[in-house]
Structure 1
Amino acid sequence: MIEVYTDAASAGNPGPSSIGVHIKQGKNRFEFSEHLGVCSNHEAEFHAVIRALQYCQQHFPGEIISIRCDSQIVIQSVEKTYCKNPVYTPLLNQILALHDKFSYVFYKWISDKENKHADRLARAELKRNQ
């Protein structure tokens, strides 16, 4: 099983945003961050999961993926396969389409305290791009 921690950072809402992704595969660790440009904090959280799944598609196809995210809106939307805000629907649809690339994908909401590594990556990327 691949453990994937995602987070986003935004300076303003909307504002410049970045993501951080930390991946654990047994004893191996992988990480990356990306600058997104201007978007809302919730959009950035969805993008973090999308990019994490895209990375896993390339490096761990067919594996069981555990996405751990501190964004309740992302976790609830994926679990219900529905977004109240239609702005997020295309992002949710991208996430759901990526599920077919893996044997199983599940999601777990985690606290900010449990997501410090991905948070640091996202904040550092945001700082580099301001």
Structure 2
Amino acid sequence: MIELYTDGASSGNPGPGGYGVILRSGPHYKELSEGFRKTTNNRMELLAVIKGLEAIKKPGQEVIVYSDSKYVIDAVEKGWLHGWVKKGFAGKKNPDLWMRFLQVYRIHKVRFVWVKGHAGHPENERCDRLAVQASQNAAAWKADVAFESGL
């Protein structure tokens, strides 16, 4: 069982943003984060989940994703995402990330658990700090090319 904790942040929406991830399985522990010069909070929330799942090397793993993002969790758990796919993401935001999510989501056994943000959950708080720090580190910002090009 792999526990995946995620959070995204954006200062302004759009604005500089980042994500933070914690992967934990038994004695194994890994943190990931990156910052972007112009993006949105929802993109960072979704990218955090994607990056965490992509970091899992062996397919077919049981993964529990802990997130405070209703956007991500509801899209998957309530089946909205499958409707968006059927309609070619017509009128929906972030199709590039959702398609990337589906590729990695399908190779694992993933379930989601919503955690209330900024409520003292230790791993969620740590992911928030990682995301905010990454969003503030202008020297290391990457370009969110799909967002900036209007895709």
TM-score normalised by length of structure 2: 0.76
CA offset digits 1:44-101 (Å, max 9, x no partner): 1111111111112x3x432111111101111000113425860134422321221232
Q: Which sections of structure 1, spanning at least 5 residues, go unmatched?
A: none
Distance 2:79 2:37 in 1: 26
On the 8 A contact 2:36/2:135 being kept in 1, the answer is: no
More strand by share: 1
Q: 1:101 maps to what in 2? A: 107
On the 8 A contact 1:5/1:22 being kept in 2, the answer is: yes
Query: What secondary structure does 2:106 align onto?
Result: helix
Distance 2:51 2:96 in 1: 14
Offset of 1:32 from its aligned partner?
Answer: 1.2
More helix by share: 1
On the 8 A contact 1:36/1:44 being kept in 2, the answer is: no
Query: What secondary structure does 1:86 align onto?
Result: coil
Matched, 1:3 2:3: yes
TM-score normalised by length of structure 1: 0.87
Q: 1:37 maps to what in 2? A: 37
Moved over 6 A (4+): none
| 1:1-130 matched pairs, under 5 angstroms | 1-56=1-56, 58=57, 60-82=58-80, 86-102=92-108, 104-112=109-117, 113=119, 114=121, 115-129=124-138
On the 8 A contact 1:20/1:32 being kept in 2, the answer is: yes
Distance 2:106 2:75 in 1: 17
How many residues of Structure 1 are paired with residues of Structure 2 in the alignment?
Answer: 127
On the 8 A contact 1:78/1:92 being kept in 2, the answer is: no
Identity of aligned residues (%): 34
- Structure 1 counterpart of 2:18, which letter? S
CA offset digits 1:4-28 (Å, max 9, x no partner): 0011111110001111001111122
> Larger Rg: 1 or 2?
2
